């Protein structure tokens, strides 16, 4: 209940409103198509989705992402097919990753994704694809002065989402080993862009919330003073 109280405040609800509007806009702008399924796309949402986990804490951050994603689906009139529903989950784990430091979930999720991927007959043939999902683990194992760097945290978050989505995709969408191999350079390109986008969106939102904080005098949202822009003219 204490965690939930962070959301049920004027600033918490304001953040949820801002975040929901961003999700709605982001979901309308397609970035790249998902291989293996028709009318499935990565959207602009991938560039900022995980940041809610750090401002409201991982638990309430996940709740805010789920509320925003579900609201966006309803407003945009998307059908709740199996694929659409399952596609809601990767960003929830990414928000958790981005909002925590070192915890069991951050390690277990990519490990479980790797195990599930390799357990599949097709995944077993391209086991090396799942090495991407060691990135979130490596980032968390680094000393704090590195693992808490916003870009590395963003990289770990986007690859956590990729791990969850990739493991599920292998079971629900027919893919050949060759198709997975073809995806390797695309994954590198997309995930680096997503990590950069998450980093930028975090700094921008962090700065906005810091300005709000000076007016509301509340401390429910976690603002990182290291990443506040224009501090010299605050």
Q: Is residue 58 part of a domain?
A: yes
Q: How many residues does the chain have?
A: 234
Residue from 220, 197, 185 nearest 45 by CA: 197
Is 228 inside a domain boundary? no
Beta pairing partners, 30 = 43
Look up the CATH number of the domain holding residue 69.
1.10.1760
> Tell me, what's the pLDDT at 24?
77
Answer whether residue 51 is part of any domain.
Answer: yes
Q: Which domain holds residue 199?
A: 2-218
* Residue 2: predicted pLDDT: 40
One pLDDT digit (tens) per residue for the chain, 234 residues: 445 555 566 666 777 777 777 777 877 777 666 665 556 667 778 888 888 888 777 777 787 788 877 877 777 676 666 776 777 789 889 999 998 887 888 889 999 999 999 999 999 999 999 999 999 999 999 998 888 899 999 999 999 999 999 999 999 888 899 999 999 999 999 999 999 999 999 998 888 878 776 665 555 567 778 888 876 444
- Radius of gyration for the chain, computed over Cα atoms and rounded to the nearest angstrom: 18
Q: Number of folded domains in the chain? A: 1
């Amino acid at each position: 209940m204490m965690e939930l109280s962070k959301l049920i405040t004027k600033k918490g609800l304001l953040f949820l409103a801002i975040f929901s509007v961003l999700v709605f806009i982001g979901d309308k702008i397609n970035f790249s198509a998902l291989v293996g399924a028709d009318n499935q796309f990565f959207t602009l949402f991938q560039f900022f989705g995980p940041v809610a986990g750090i401002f409201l804490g991982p638990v309430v951050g996940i709740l805010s992402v789920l509320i925003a994603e579900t609201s966006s689906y309803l407003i945009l009139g998307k059908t709740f097919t199996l694929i659409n529903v399952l596609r809601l989950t990767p960003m929830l784990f990414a928000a958790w990753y981005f909002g925590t430091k070192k915890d069991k979930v951050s390690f277990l999720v990519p490990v479980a994704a790797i195990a599930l991927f390799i357990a599949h007959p097709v995944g077993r043939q391209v086991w090396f694809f799942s090495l991407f999902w060691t990135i979130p683990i490596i980032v968390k194992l680094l000393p704090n002065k590195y693992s808490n760097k916003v870009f590395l945290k963003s990289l770990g978050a986007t690859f956590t989402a990729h791990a969850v989505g990739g493991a599920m995709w292998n079971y629900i969408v027919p893919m050949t080993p060759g198709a997975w191999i073809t995806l390797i350079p695309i994954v590198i390109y997309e995930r680096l862009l997503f990590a950069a986008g998450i980093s930028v969106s975090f700094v921008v939102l962090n700065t906005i919330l810091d300005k709000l904080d000076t007016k509301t005098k509340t401390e429910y949202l976690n603002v990182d003073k290291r990443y506040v822009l224009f501090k010299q003219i605050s």
